[in-house]
Chains A and B, each alone.
Chain A
């Protein structure tokens, strides 16, 4: 291999279960390959590191054809919780950690976790609302500086 990836910066912008997991898996996988990794949580993706919300991330059952559910069924109250539980139990079977555990695990690998300042301001949050693993609240400019020289993945 003549060319290898040395650094990735991954943006997590979605707050659904299926929006957050791929980014976390890619981040963790990058670290296990020895790639320097930053995660930037923005907009609804910030829920992944929100103290009171990150244990309650839901699978989206509306407008998600991948679930192969009847469209009307997706909107029935409680369906999202049921489908989330089902998905979580399947993930547990193959030893995929829960989102809070995954966040801690990724921080332990030495990856940098950052929250988007615009989002924090927009939702009226502060650093105290975010889990301890978040190192800093940064601007988009800071993010680009941090990502310089590496690859950027937007999810």
Chain B
């Protein structure tokens, strides 16, 4: 666990960089969190995926894996990897301030 200053707010991140307390997250943090993932600028398409990620977590209690993310967001897998080259589910979850999605497929 490490405390980090994001958009002037102190947040708790776990060893893999995911939010320990998703409630500490706010939308204003997106650009800064995305930059840390090497994503700059954040496009409308990125935001769509990030919002779906956050919404899925808030309604279902966990974020979707890549296959499920493609289905719920209607963004094809190929494009998800173009938007988030280092792993769409992982990167979008970090930027959306939620825990790491669980799932093997």
Contact = CB atoms under 8 A, between A and B. Distances in A.
B15 A33 contact: no
B67 A95 contact: yes
A122 interface: no
Contacts of B15: 1
A76 B23 CA distance: 58
A127 B77 CA distance: 25
Nearest to A111: B81
A54 to B, nearest CB: 18
B81 A110 contact: yes
Looking at chain A, what size class is its interface with the partner chain? 10 to 19
Interface of B: 15-16, 65-68, 76-78, 81, 85-91, 104-105
Contacts of A42: none
Given A32-B66, A108-B77, A25 B105 contact: yes
3 residue pairs, one from A and one from B, having the closest CB atoms: A34-B86, A34-B87, A108-B78
Contact of B77 (A33, A95, A105): A105
